[in-house]
Amino acid sequence: MNIKVTESMKPKRSGEEIYKQACEVITGGVSRNTVFRRPHPFYAAGASGCYVTDVDGIRRLDFANNMASLIHGHAHPDIVNAVIEQLQKGTAYTMATEAEVLFAQLLCDRVPGFEKVRFVNSGTEAVMTMIKASRAYTGRPKIAKAEGAYHGTYDFAEISQTSAPSQWGDIHQPNSVPLAHGTPQGVLDDVVVFPFNDIEKTIAILDRQADKIACVIIDPVPHRVGLVPGTNGFVEALYDWTRKNGALLVFDEVVTLRVHYGGAQEKYSVRPDMTALGKIIGGGFPVGALAGRTDVMRVLDPREKKILFPHSGTFSANPVTTTAGRVAMELFDREAVLRLNALTQIAIKQIEEAIKIADVPVSLTGAGSMFRVHLRATPPKTYREAYQPKEVVALVNELLDYFYIHERIMMINTCACMFSTAISQKEVDKLTEAMLNGFKFIKPKLEKIHQDNFQLP
């Protein structure tokens, strides 16, 4: 899709000028660290389909899609029109709306394990609500999560998401490592950390805290762990353990709902008790949701004589978001999911061919419409294998800057791509060519890193 630069999109001030003012009024000049760049961030002027134009007039092909949240790319006309119609009726009321009911019905019809839904405003809030609901339902204090997994910025959810060799401890009992300075010791004590996809070690770790664990939370294809899908055996083992020990198995599908029509959980033989949602279900607007079993979700029910988890939120289920989200998910039907996944597989095969041509130690992991590039010859299977020392991180950033500046391609900062339905074979070919050029660009430095033996097989 070609983007037409309108008068409103033409640069009035450069990115450098905007950033100078931003630093005077915004901490660090940005409201989310993921968009920070030196010497200054790039500022969007407008976007359409799979292209974004910045205030300096440069157009880039977008494979980041606002951190995997734009499943149809930018400014899809059906979503825009539906939102405009709702905007004219109002954006938020101290009342419920039919829009949230229609959207909840769609989600429940789409995913078999979704019996009841509650809307919130972000993926972080969805995970937080899910954890608190698990505690309310079980009466237990602890949660268990995979080492390296990202689940948003809630204190308990962010433990050990950036564990490093100097602090992560024995693999048979990984340490609970804080992310934010000042994290209370009590938070660390209430998070049990296990190695993703390792059944024997995980069950042994869980057994030691069996009577205190409220829920075991997993992202079925954890991005930070390496974007490696959870095996059927691993997920089934966790499910069986939670049934045996009175805990809940909960999924974080904020990112992975895109993997299949019914989310990543569609391909497993067991169903989680609750699932946290976000990103693509907002149609481009801030969103989160919690979905799960009726009896578990009852802890939120205001009709109960004793409400175990009183829950509300000023902008939860606002009609703009629920309208945009409903339209987006209607458009992302089974056919669209299969088509996008197939296109992503074509891209992966083409990039693997580029890796061979460039003759570089690079591998890919992923699922559905997303994949991640690793600067190692064999795909990692665990977080500790996927961990990147500072030399590799620096080279990944150099590669991403090359794509951004020279190839005019946007990717997620882990060197990952999240496809949208706006992308076609033409864009896949551009990405493949850019990848080939990028691999050749970093080849000398990458080979030196491997020669210096930074534990990258």
Rounded to two decimals, what is the model's pTM?
Answer: 0.94
Three-state DSSP state, 412: strand
Say what the pLDDT of residue 33 is: 82
Average pLDDT over residues 183-194: 98
Share of the chain above pLDDT 90, in %: 88
Q: How confident is the model at residue 150 (pLDDT cuts 50, 70, 90)?
A: very high
Q: What is the mean pLDDT of residues 121-142?
A: 98
pLDDT in tens, 355-375: 999 999 999 999 999 999 999
pLDDT score of 456 more than 50: no
- The pLDDT of residue 178 is 96
Residue 3 pLDDT more than 50? Answer: no
Mean pLDDT of the chain: 94
Residues with catalytic function: 150, 252, 279
Taking each helix axis from N to C end, the angle separating 319-331 and 77-87, rounded to the nearest 10 degrees, works out to 160
Task: Catalogue all structural domains in the chain, each as residue range(s) with its CATH number.
Answer: 93-320 (3.40.640.10)
Q: What is the pLDDT of residue 131?
A: 98
Q: Is 22 helix (H, G, I), strand (E, B) or coil?
A: helix
Q: How many helices (H) and strands (E) does the chain have?
A: 14, 14
Token pair for residue 9? 């999109």
- The pair of structure tokens assigned to 88 is 């004219």
User: Tens digits of per-residue pLDDT, 393-428?
Assistant: 999 999 999 999 999 999 999 999 999 999 999 999
If we measure between CA atoms, which residue out of 72, 49, 16, 398 comes closest to residue 258? 72
